[in-house]
Structure 1
């Protein structure tokens, strides 16, 4: 009998480290993504940069904009993809309508948080976020420093 594979832990390709630092994430959604073959090969090597990526809504569709997927080095010059091209996200119509309505509100935006493999397919975790101001970011840093110091002190007393 064949050993059953565990599908509980997705294989992470890349994470957007700035997402939780710059935004308060209110909701998250899992979306598929429409890619070219050379993009998939490049992602298998982990060549993705989220930098200023966001989700844009056009014609009842959602597109991932500003995410850099490096060109695959073993693909010929004639078959290379544009690293910064908008890529269509595969979501249900009702999810697109909900996200579009919420992102039209002042201060809310949809950003990519993580890209990973799930059962052989590439998925993108997108989050509906509200931008943090400078004061709240500094407060988060202070809270994290205090938590780290107290954990260190508790470990020393044991």
Structure 2
């Protein structure tokens, strides 16, 4: 099986959304973008996906220009096509249109030599949901700290 090597994670997505389901998609890139990704110069923070005419695209993903790429560099914020099966795209399109879900990139990783993106079918969190998650995290951290102190 291919080895997975994580390049970038979208922490903001986990903070702002409930991730109901996740999917794997390939991504259409040019050569200098792949070289820039290999050096870890990619940002998924404010990115989202849209489905247009049966094709799925990622918007707002920033891939910094490759230093040695000169004329071959592309626009860092360009819209990039994702590669998924037609049935999957049609299913996602139906869910997003009917129930108000969003498609958000969760992570970018290498699977073998290919760049893959993990997409999340997400539902937005309200402010009280975010506060509840922060309270749970704080409580868990306090419990771990207390157990660590007790073990000394």
TM-score by length of 2: 0.95
Residue matched to 1:3: none
Q: Which residue of 2 aligns with 1:93?
A: 86
Report matched runs for 1:46-125 at 5 Å: 46-76=40-70, 78-125=71-118
Aligned to 1:25: 19
CA RMSD of aligned residues (A): 1.2
How many equivalent pairs are there? Answer: 151
Contact 2:7 2:40 survives alignment (8 Å): yes
Shift >6 Å, 4+ stretches: none
Report the TM-score when normalising by structure 1: 0.91
Match 1:147 to one of 121, 134, 140: 140
Question: Which of the pair is proportionally richer in helix?
Answer: 2
SS in 2 for 1:72: coil
Q: Distance in 1 between matches of 2:93 and 2:12?
A: 22
- Listed as ranges, the gaps of 5+ residues in structure 1 are 1-5
CA distance in structure 2 between the partners assigned to 1:103 and 1:66 by the alignment: 19
Contact 1:107 1:131 in 2 (8 A): no
- Could you say which residue in structure 2 is the equivalent of 1:15? 9
Equivalent residue, structure 2, for 1:36: 30
